[in-house]
Structure 1
Amino acid sequence: MPENEAWDYTLHIPNDLRAVTVCRRTLRLILTMHGLIGLVDTAELLATELVSNAVRHTKGPAALRVRRTEAGVVWIGAWDTDPGPPEPPLPLGQAGELEEAGRGLGLVVACAEQWGWQPSARFGNRGKYVWCELTGAA
């Protein structure tokens, strides 16, 4: 495959926590098939955090989007039906060790080169798209 190949995948998911595992495994397959095995572990962590937030904090459908630009940047994003901004990420040391909430976006901030969010409409619903980007070895 050419190094500057761009591609884009979207996986539409129901509001079901089992969808997080489906997204993680699908992402692993996509990156492996495109020769980006070096990004798989970090990408899976980031996608898990983004998708689990989308499923846990909203009541509607969600989507995982994975794309690669011609410049080699891999974007991972989750769309959900809540148009409000995500909770601000806590720095990794501030979330309590045993707390289950509050660390997700902190992990995204720590592991991704960039992240952000924007209002977005999909499937006839208003919502938001929370994304991050990775660059690195194939």
Structure 2
Amino acid sequence: MPQNATEPWEYTLHIPHDPRAVTVCRRTLRLILTIHGLIRLTDVAELLATELISNAVRHTKGSAALRLRWRDGVLRIGAWDANPEPPDPAPALDQASLDAETGRGLTLVQACADVWGWHPLARGADRGKYVWCDLGAA
């Protein structure tokens, strides 16, 4: 039975540096949203999480993590990775970028999320960045 979608919750899934982990994240996200009665957000949330985690796996050498947080009617989807460098800016969509096989991830995030951003992280010897986006329930 789905839980009350008004109660706040948070999950973090730590993943190895393995492209197959993107699928694990996507399926885990679907399960979490279904359990919490937020199935209506699943399709867009899966797209956003896939783009964020794919970038973390593709552009770094270390482990990564997917973080999901629900609070006040907003789903925050975030990806942590070990690279402290800022993400490449979201390029404008032109014919060349539409035909490219890669490079549109943050453009999709920017187009589909209500808001997105990133910040560097440093905790002791751990360094990296956290890229996040918000998706409202409306």
How does the TM-score come out when normalised to structure 2? 0.92
Matches within 5 A, 1:1-138: 1-69=3-71, 71-93=72-94, 95-121=96-122, 124-137=125-138
Percent identity between the two aligned chains: 67
* AA in 1 matched with 2:112: C
Q: CA RMSD in A?
A: 1.6
TM-superposed deviation, 1:94: 5.6
Distance 1:129 1:94 in 2: 30
Aligned length: 136
Q: Where in structure 2 are there 5+ consecutive unaligned residues?
A: none
How does the TM-score come out when normalised to structure 1? 0.92
* AA in 2 matched with 1:132: C
Q: Where in structure 1 are there 5+ consecutive unaligned residues?
A: none
Change (3 A) 1:20 1:110: same
- Partner of 1:10, secondary structure, is strand
Distance 2:28 2:125 in 1: 25
* AA in 2 matched with 1:41: D
TM-superposed deviation, 1:124: 4.7
